[in-house]
Structure formats: structure tokens, C-alpha cells
A and B are shown apart, each in its own frame.
Chain A
């Protein structure tokens, strides 16, 4: 069942107080539609997958739907164990962000630039900085499907910290709406 009501997006210290443009706190359906319309979407997974099996499961389902995964911080290990073949395993989110900022970057498969990048399973303060770099210095559309609201993204889940089940159900809903 679709999640109709969720908490208000809330800024917090580590994700920046002074933000010029805030992310749209988007519903799962909206996020799914953006990914559907993307020409070259990429899902980047972070180190929290090593601590949260549910996130591994979600990433696996994204892979099943044909979305490329760049696994960082060792998340490749748990994904590979689930049969996923990430397009990138070695580079850090920091490096991948640097690549995404470069118009000449043609993707990990050499087939072209990624236009929509989705982030799953990162430490909030680390991801926040990367989203800031992408916001200011690139035209990549960024989507944070994280437990914490990310003001620097273009689109973000709201703060779901208090209700992890709601967070998981929103992730499932993105996948369902994506089709």
C-alpha cells in the first residue's frame, strides 16, 4: 500500500543549514517516474549495505530491473553474493562523484554520461557533501533514497529516521512504481 503521509523534511546540522536550493521531498511515485524517464540512470550504493540487509535486497531489485549499480565502500561484496554484477566496485563515492562532474565521463561501460543518479545506503554527512558538489558543479539529476532528508539532492526522501519500516516500504514502492 502506498505511503500517503510521511514526516516533514527537516534540515539538520550535518546536512547543512545554509542551503540555497533545497531538495524536493518527493514521494516514491515521483521518484520512480523520474528514473523511468532517465536515459542513463545509475544507482550508487554505499557502506550502509554492509549493515542493513534490506538495502541489499532493494539494490538487488533495482539491478533486476536493469539499472546499473556502482557499488562503493565494500557494498559490492554483499551484492555479488546476491548475484548482482555491479558496473563498478573499486572506486569510492568521492572518486565517482569527481567522474560525474566531468562532461567527458562516458560511464563505467563507456556508453555515455549518466543523467540521473540515485544514492542508497550512505553515511549522511558524507553523501551530503557529494550531493553538494553535484548540485553546484554539474547538471546531473540526483535522487537520495536515504533514511535522512538530503537538501542538496534534486529529489530526496524526507526524514524517515524515526520510522524505519516506513522507509523500507517507500523503497519498495519506488521499485513497484518503476514497474
Chain B
């Protein structure tokens, strides 16, 4: 083969083949910024800027490192181990590993889907997210610098993500990184890659599976434990990749049998199965897995990947529920049935010869699952659903075995007083035991340590059965992206502060309090006209908690991305649309260019977009990478108390004045600013604390006086309501008297003078002296030197 080189003249094209590697797009809409396809180092400077201000905080879970054979090493009191790593750096490494796992999970999901779809539809299959979404992939565009138009383009983005995950994971090998700050930079890098992976996955499934495309008013679907019609066979899908179970719905629709079956999901596959077809239903999050299985509800379970109990097969086996495992991430020791005939698979499962099969061919899953479900339903006499115990006597006999040893209390992640509940139940009083259901994760650790092998979960569920059964409501189906037109409308009020903030409630259900607490927290913000966005387990938990009138939040608040709106974007991977919305604000409202321009966009968001992530019950590695990805993008995240077990947080010190500065492009000065926001990742203990922290972390340096006034009003009101007094730090956020809440202006001016020693001109009601800085409507903050240089005139 002859390759054309520079200056080579070819006069005859016989026996010449021409290899064209890649054609650059002719239509280049935007010039590429400084960091397209960044490696580990390209955004390191940005990370170090963040970490200088938001210092990493480490709370080791173990004092030892057990990762290599030179150990175990006692690293307590920041000692070094055999490899030379100290405790702080070892913990930073561990968090980096967690973020790698989280990132790999979403990315593998994306890889499975994209490869499958390209095989089916071809790599030129277009990306169409509806007429209102022109910026289709804001994260990919900002990070990688391309604007994907086809499935093939998504695969290119995926290749970059996979490369970066491998590089960061490599850095966690023994004998690599020495600096905890650089590990943090790497965890931020791989978590940013996670956001790209999520965006790829969700865009691919939206376009290929015809999910809702940014429609605010998607259907409401039944959600909760008691959603199932007992008289129908039940197919339960569980996990995070709907690719494998979606054909079940298609097959049943085609056969006209969809109404003869119940199809309901657990975890994010539930979100995505209802995005496929709103006749499907949502049981709930991971904590509902044992609730649903032990109640004998499923006639067949189809599992895919992530956040599925590692004892799913065992749990199903005990009740004779066949399991179809579909993802190579969790083959569960089952025989590979992909080459078997449908008849052979069905017969093996119905007869009970096999407790389950591994079947990764989605089309075959679609055929097999309904047949098996119907047969098992009939085999069980159609009447075993919703039973934790055969009778009241059986329940009483079970609880009477309790010896009050308290092993369960010490094993429980929440230290729930199971002993007290059991003691009361023994006496015939089940209220105490029943109340535990509201907080029980149904993790089963209590049963592992019970010397009497009491079925504790069953007992708790049985005790609260009626309430549990009736804890059913409706969830608005995940809509996917936010429309460009919505961003156009809210961009300015968010940046100027008139919309007081965007609260993004995402993540798992390891709540420290009763499940209804999530509703109480979010409704406080909905009533106050914040924008509330949600996804994943939080989004489905909201769908099962009703108020006194029997309404869920979805039924009370519209699905618009606007003040007072409650937006469910969808499953875990749909979190990318929340980050995408923040990015789109910088682009659509402020005309900041996105392509390969990550640091500038993140800097814009940090200083201007009052968005705060909230994960009330985080537990997964994916939650770690999602949060860390938001942090690199300049979005602070508040987590519930279990979040401290991630071991690392990013917490600033507001009392260190030298840490809080920006370059003001307008005045060409380095300006000391108020500590806003003062944390990037922080845990709270109670719902009261969550509410107050979320409100205060919405404050941004760029707020206009009107915007700051609105934000301070909410912050001060909430602090007074839940903490009983003015905040300790409210004065730090006051730049001018116009920042003060109107109704409290007089009172607050007095406090500023008397308590904080500020000088006030009482004739004009003006602040003369005291604030960290004065207010300037043209204030144009950045902490990135290159951005300053770019825009300064």
C-alpha cells in the first residue's frame, strides 16, 4: 500500500489505496478551548486552587492499611506504612479508588449500551433529544471538546473516559502518588470522567429507547411497596441497566399482554423501565429489595448491575423465585444460558432444577421472563404475595425467641433499638417494632449476628405491614435533560440570585432519619421557590411519601426547571443532566464557550451558579464519584451523616481571611470576598441542619444586591426557624445595606453596629464601614488567572 505523503506527486492512481483517518467536521461552531480531552495534569492547577481553599478533611474508618502484602500497616496518628504512605495520603488514595469504582460503573453501563446499540442501529444513528435541546451533551463538549451527533461520537467520548479511569486507577498502585492533594486532584479527574460516562449512557438510552426527551410533564407512575395487583404474575427488574429488561415490556406490548402482568423495578432500572413504558411501576430503592422478595411478590426476578444485593440469588432461592442474571458485572455463579433454547431455559427455571440462569441476550430475556413469571405464579396457587409470615402465630413465635442480647443493635448501621421493639412485641405491643420499619434499610446485618436466627427483617416488616403497604404514591417519570429554553428563562435569575438556589437531591437512601424526612427537607425549598432537581433513589423515595391529602411532591409541584419546580431527571446516569444544566447556564446565559474549556466553566459555576447537591443517604461508590465530579465543577454537596464514611470532605475555614479571594476582572484587583460557598463537601447530622446548610451554601460572590437579599432572607429565616437565632456568619455575606432582608433591615443594622462594630449612618440607613468588601454591580469574579487574562481589558 502506498500512502500519500507531503509533496508526493501521484500521476497514476492505479494500485494506490488512500487511507483517510478521520475527517474533521467542516462546521466548527466554536473554537476549542485550552483543555480538550484532558489528561491527569491539564486541570490539576484548577484542582489545586479549589483544594487550597476547600481543604481536604480525612476521617479514617480504619487505622490500618491492608492493601498489600508488606502490611497490614498501622498508620495511626499519620504514621507511614511499609511503602512510605502516610495515613492522610492512604485515605486520599482510598477515596480515589472509590471514585474509580463509581466512574467505572457508569462507564461500563455506557459501554454496554453504546456497543449494543451500535451493533443494532449502526454508529451513524443520530442523537436527537427533541427540539428544545440544542446543546445535547454539555459535559462531553466542555470536557472532551466534541459535539456528539451520533452514537459513534458517543463511543469516542467513552474511549477517552476509559483511558482516564485506567490512568487514575494506575496511580493508586503501591509506590505511586506521594501527595494527598494530588490524589484529590486525581479523584476529581476520574469523577469528572464519571460525569462524561453518565452523559454518554443516558443520551444513548434516551435516543435509542425513546425515553422522554426533556419533557417537563412526563406521566406519573405508581411507586411503593403496595403497588402490585396480587392477581397478576409479577416480573421484578432490579439494578441499573435497563437494556437487558426493556425487551420484556416490548414483547408483552407486542403480544397484547402488558396489562395481564405487573412489571416493577427496584433501584435505577425502575426509573428506566418506566421511562421505557409508563405502564411499568417503581417499587423503590435498594432498601426495598428484601422487602419485596421476602414478601413473596416477584414471580421472576431479572437482575442487571450495581447496587443489587450480593445475596440476591440466595434470597430468591429461599422463596422459589427464579432469577435471571443479565449483566456480566454480576453473573452470580449461574450457568450461561445464552446458547440454550428458550424452552430449555424456561423448563430449568420452572422445574426448580436451576435457581437461576445467566442470560445476557436482551431479546431472549424479553421472551423468557414473562413465560417463567406466569408459570411460577400459577404454580404458587396465585396467592402468596405480600406475606412475611404465614400467620400471626408464626410472627409471635419468631419474636418470642429474642433474648435481648443486643447484638442486632450493635450491628445495625443506624443502631436501631431492635431489642426494645422485640421486647414490646413479645408482650403483644408491636408499635415499637413497627416504627423501626420507617428507618430500616433491610440490610440484614442484624440477622447475621442474631444467635437465635430470628427473621428480624420479616418481623419488622410484618409489624408495620399496613403502613408499609399503604406507603404508595406516584413518581413523575424521569425526563432526561433540561431544555435550552428553560435555561434561557432561569439562567439570569439564578446567576443574579433572584431564584435563591437550585437544590439537587440525588443519591442513595441511607437516610439517618425516617424516610419522610427527605420530603420535609425538599418541600421547605419548594415552598420557597427554589428549583429542586432529583434523580435515582431520592427521586423514587419522594414518590412514595404522601401528605395528609394523599399527595406526593410530584403531584403538588410542577416538573418545570423553574422556581418552585420539582424535576426528576431519571436514574443515576441522568445526574449528568443536572451538571449539564449548570454548564448550560454558563453557555446560554453568559455566552461562555464550552469546547474543551472546563476550568473557565467550573470557575463560572463556583462563583455564580447557586446550585447545591444534596445526598441525604449516600452509600455507594457511585455517589462518591458523582459528588466529587460536582465538586470539581464548582458545585458544593451536602451529605447526610453516613457520608462521613467516605472518609474525605472538602471544608473551608471561613475565619481564614486570606483563603477567600478572587480576581475582579472589572476592577483589575485581587479582592477579598465573603466565604461563599464555604464548603465543597460537608456532612450534616439532622434534617434541620441539612435545610440550613443547603440554604447558606446557595450564596455566591456574584449575587446581585437583590439576589443576595433574597438568599439572605431565606438563610436567616431558616436559621431562626430551626436553630432559634440569627446565624453566626450572616454578617460575612453583607456587602451593602441593600443585601439585607427588607423586613429585618432595621434590626440587622442594629446588630451590625452593636455586635460586630460596623459603622452605620442612621439618617440614611447606610452601612459606612464593616463589610469584607463593598458591592459593585459590575463585579466579575474569577480565581483562574487565564480567565482573568482572557477577559480583562
> A residues near B, CB below 8 A?
10, 12-14, 16, 18-21, 46-47, 50, 71-74, 76-81, 88-95, 97-99, 101-102, 104-105, 108, 122-126, 129-130, 132-133, 135-137, 148, 161-162
Contact = CB atoms under 8 A, between A and B. Distances in A.
Contacts of B692: 74, 90
Interface string B55-94: 1011111111000000000101110000000011000000
Contacts of A98: 55, 57, 649, 651, 653
Nearest to A96: B651
A136 B415 contact: no
B651 A129 contact: no
Given A74-B723, A89-B728, A126 B685 contact: yes
Contacts of B678: 95
Interface in B696-724: 696, 719, 722-724
Nearest to B87: A136
Interface in B593-650: 641-642, 644-645, 647, 649
A104 to B, nearest CB: 7
Interface stretch (B9-17, B404-412, B575-583): B404-412
B723 A18 contact: no
B723 A89 contact: yes
Given A16-B62, A162-B406, 20 more contacts: A19-B63, A76-B723, A76-B724, A77-B688, A77-B722, A79-B724, A90-B727, A92-B682, A92-B683, A92-B685, A97-B59, A98-B57, A99-B655, A102-B653, A123-B641, A126-B512, A137-B58, A137-B78, A137-B88, A161-B409
B83 to A, nearest CB: 18
Interface in B718-744: 719, 722-725, 727-729
Given A81-B724, A161-B409, A46 B58 contact: no
B387 interface: no
Nearest to B64: A18
B519 interface: no
Closest 5 pairs between A and B when the two form their complex, measured CB to CB: A74-B688, A77-B724, A12-B410, A47-B686, A129-B59
B458 interface: no
Contacts of B413: 13-14, 125
Among B61, B406, B649, B689, find the residue whose CB has the most chain A CB atoms closer than 10 A. Answer: B689
A125 B642 contact: yes
Contacts of A93: 685
B656 interface: yes
Contact of A73 (B55, B649, B679, B686): B686
23 contacts: A10-B410, A18-B63, A21-B63, A46-B685, A72-B689, A74-B723, A77-B722, A77-B724, A80-B724, A90-B696, A90-B729, A92-B693, A94-B682, A94-B684, A98-B55, A98-B653, A99-B655, A105-B653, A122-B685, A125-B641, A129-B644, A130-B644, A137-B58
A123 B685 contact: yes
A22 B458 CA distance: 36
Contact of A90 (B88, B642, B656, B723): B723
B439 to A, nearest CB: 12
Given A129-B61, A133-B60, A13 B411 contact: yes
- Chain A CB count within 10 A is highest, among B59, B63, B445, for B59
B329 to A, nearest CB: 27
Nearest to A97: B57
A19 B58 CA distance: 16
A144 B428 CA distance: 36
Contact of B415 (A10, A14, A132): A14
B456 to A, nearest CB: 15
A105 B654 CA distance: 11
B728 A12 contact: no
A64 B711 CA distance: 36
Contacts, number: 154
Nearest to B719: A90
Contacts of B77: 135-136
Contacts of A126: 512, 641-642, 644, 683, 685
Contact of B60 (A47, A123, A136): A136
A101 B58 CA distance: 10
Contacts of B723: 71, 74, 76-77, 89-90
Contact of B58 (A10, A124, A133): A133
A126 B645 CA distance: 8
Contacts of B409: 161
Given A77-B722, A80-B725, A101-B57, A94 B644 contact: yes
A86 to B, nearest CB: 9
Contacts of A12: 410-411
A120 B767 CA distance: 40
Contacts of A105: 653, 655
A13 B445 contact: yes
Nearest to B63: A20
A112 B633 CA distance: 36
A85 to B, nearest CB: 9
Of residues A19, A50, A136, which shows the largest number of chain B Cβ atoms within 10 Å of its Cβ? A136
A14 B416 CA distance: 12
A4 B340 CA distance: 71
Nearest to B449: A13
A55 B194 CA distance: 44
Interface in B440-455: 445
A152 to B, nearest CB: 9
Contact of B682 (A14, A21, A95): A95
B406 A90 contact: no
A162 B410 CA distance: 11
Contacts of B64: 18, 20
A133 B645 CA distance: 12
Interface centre among A72, A101, A126 (most CB of B within 10 A): A126
B448 to A, nearest CB: 10
A137 B56 CA distance: 12
A168 B55 CA distance: 38
B642 A50 contact: no
A21 B55 CA distance: 26
Between A77, A81, A129, A135, the greatest number of chain B beta carbons within 10 A of the residue's beta carbon is seen for: A129
B118 to A, nearest CB: 45
Contact of B62 (A14, A18, A80, A88): A18
Contacts of B725: 76-77, 80, 89
B58 A47 contact: no
Given A46-B685, A72-B685, A132-B59, A124 B655 contact: no
Contacts of A162: 406, 419
A105 B719 CA distance: 24
Contacts of B410: 10, 12-13
A74 B57 contact: no
A82 to B, nearest CB: 10
A123 B645 CA distance: 13
Nearest to A10: B410
Nearest to B726: A89
B90 to A, nearest CB: 11
Interface in B344-394: none
A73 B60 contact: no
Contacts of B63: 16, 18-21, 132, 136
A89 B693 CA distance: 12
A130 B62 contact: no
A102 B654 CA distance: 12
Contacts of A161: 406, 409, 415
A77 B719 CA distance: 9
B223 to A, nearest CB: 28
Given A20-B74, A74-B689, A124-B415, A94 B60 contact: no
A21 B75 CA distance: 11
Given A74-B692, A101-B57, A129 B62 contact: no
Contacts of A77: 688, 722-725
B59 A133 contact: yes
Nearest to B684: A92
Contacts of A148: 415
User: Of B55, B63, B78, which is in contact with the most chain A CB atoms at under 10 Å from its CB?
Assistant: B63
A151 B683 CA distance: 21
